[in-house]
Amino acid sequence: MIDLHTHILPGIDDGPPDLETAVAMARYGQENGLTAVAATPHFDALADWGTIKTRVEELQGELAKENIELNIISGAELFVDVALLDMEVDQIPTYGDRGEYCLLELPMYQTPVYTDQVIFSLQTKGITPIIAHPERYSAVIDDPNLVLEWLEAGCLIQMNSGSILGRFGAKIKETAEIMLSHNMVQFVASDAHGLERRSLNLKETYNELVEIVGPEQARALVETNPKAMLAGEFSLSQYPRPYVKRRRFFFF
0.85 exceeded by the pTM?
A: yes
Q: How confident is the model at residue 248 (pLDDT cuts 50, 70, 90)?
A: low
At 47 the pLDDT is 61
What separation, in Å, do the N-terminal and C-terminal C-alpha atoms of the chain show?
52
- Residue 202 contacts residue 3 (beta carbons within 8 Å): yes
Tell me: the pLDDT tens digits for 37-47? 999 999 964 56
DSSP 114: T
- Residue 76 contacts residue 49 (beta carbons within 8 Å): yes
Give the side-chain half-sphere CA count within 13 A for 229: 32
Tell me: the pLDDT tens digits for 39-96? 999 996 456 899 999 999 999 999 999 999 999 999 999 999 999 999 999 999 999 9
Tell me: the pLDDT tens digits for 224-233? 999 999 999 9
- Residue 179 contacts residue 185 (beta carbons within 8 Å): yes
216 in helix, strand or coil? helix
Percent of the chain scoring above 90 in pLDDT: 91
The set of residues, in sequence order, having a beta carbon less than 8 Å from that of 228 and lying 6+ positions away, is 234, 235
Q: What are phi and psi of 65, to 5 degrees?
A: -65, -30
DSSP 68: -
Per CATH, the architecture of 2-230 is what? Alpha-Beta Barrel (3.20)
Exposure string of 30-42, with b = 16+ CB inside 10 Å and e = fewer, is beeebebbbbbbe
- Residue 98 contacts residue 232 (beta carbons within 8 Å): yes
pLDDT at 252 over 60: no
